[in-house]
Amino acid sequence: MERHLITGATGLVGGMLTLDLLEHYPDAELVCLVRPRGARPAQERLDAALRDAATAYRREAALKRAGQRCRAVSGDLTLPLCGTSGAQVGPVSHVWHSAASLAFEDEAKDAIMQCNVEGTRHVAALAQRLGVGVFNHISTAFVVGDRAGDIPAAPVDPQVRSNNWYERSKVLGERIVSSSGFPTLRILRPSGVIGHDTTFGATTFSGLYGMVKTLLALRLRNRQDFAGQHLRIRADADALVNFVPVNLVTRGAVTLSAADAPSGVYHLSNISQATVADTLSAITERVGMPEPVLVATTDGFTPAEQRLDRAFTFYRPYLSATRHFGLAETLQHTATSMDAPLSRERLVDFVDWYLGTLKRRPSVGGTTG
């Protein structure tokens, strides 16, 4: 029986990926490397995460297959060989390395590097120990840092100017797997991952959802400053931002695998991009703020606008320049449509789903998965 090893199955991309693999590889066994948390053992965490994913994406049929063909192995990416052994995992033909810290703050640098750089090194070493033939490394399209315009699917310059520690860690992670000697290495680069394009559901929240949570928190803490006036935000109204539904990402990844796509870099981004103006308009409307005025500088900013500007430090590079991620290599090997139009009204649907989740589960909204 073919066996796939998956990291990050409790996260947004990894959970959807696991469900897709169960359907696309009906005879394969899936082994998920999961870190126990507190009193919750690895298998319990995996089962709960897959239930949440199946509910969010209406994939209950795939979940039924998990009981027979999907098992957890206790592991920790921060440990050599992920704290496990070949005997616990068994023979493996494919690895899907999806686990990552999505944190970005300077104060989180050490934790980001430990997970995304050393963790990748440990997963690659485990895969080498197991004699894996195919390694699928899920990176990010934003490894290109401050580059804008047309972005080819190609190895990134190690001297690229990254916007934050998350991007930098992903550059270094790609370098590690690229030098690991796997017979087939696919570097898969999603853009900004959001929920399912039909259900709007998601299981962990960053990117678009981080902006929603940031603006909502500012409005709730500063009602007088953020509820009644058209605040200025530093952003380019006409720039395009690439959000891609999670099911497009994983469908693209799995069909590349099913097509035996060769080693290379593959973007998993959206052909249709949302404008920055539509994105911020959709968010501010749904969190109860007047539509913002998008400007190029902070000249004349009020104290409230300065607070907002600081809160948006991480997001600003993605709201100020357009990037067109090349999809030719991906589309050459898959019939999957990498196109999910995101009008302002469609963005409102994603924002509303998330706000509804926040009301039901106030603790939702972390930045790691």
pLDDT digits (tens, 9 = 90+) for 111-142: 999 999 999 999 999 999 999 999 999 999 99
The tens digit of pLDDT for each residue in 298-337 reads 999 999 899 999 999 999 999 999 999 999 999 999 888 8
Whole-number Å distance between alpha carbons of 163 and 146:
6
Select from 177, 203, 205, 201 the least CA-distant residue to 189.
177
Query: What is the distance, to the nearest Å, from the Cα of residue 289 to the centroid of all Cα atoms in its chain?
Result: 27
Structural class in CATH, domain 3-195+242-268: alpha beta
Check: CB of residue 122 under 8 Å from CB of residue 107: no
Say how many Å lie between the first and final Cα of the chain, rounded: 29
Beta-sheet strands, E only, within the chain: 3-7, 29-34, 70-74, 94-97, 134-138, 149-151, 184-190, 192-194, 232-234, 240-241, 243-245, 264-268, 274-275, 293-295, 323-325
- Long-range contacts made by residues 37-40, C-beta under 8 angstroms, separation at least 24? none
Band of residue 106 on the pLDDT scale cut at 50, 70, 90: confident
Cα 197–Cα 203–Cα 206 angle in degrees, nearest 5: 85
The tens digit of pLDDT for each residue in 138-162 reads 999 999 999 999 999 999 998 899 9
The average confidence (pLDDT) of the chain is: 93
Domain positions in the chain: 3-195+242-268, 208-241+274-322+340-360
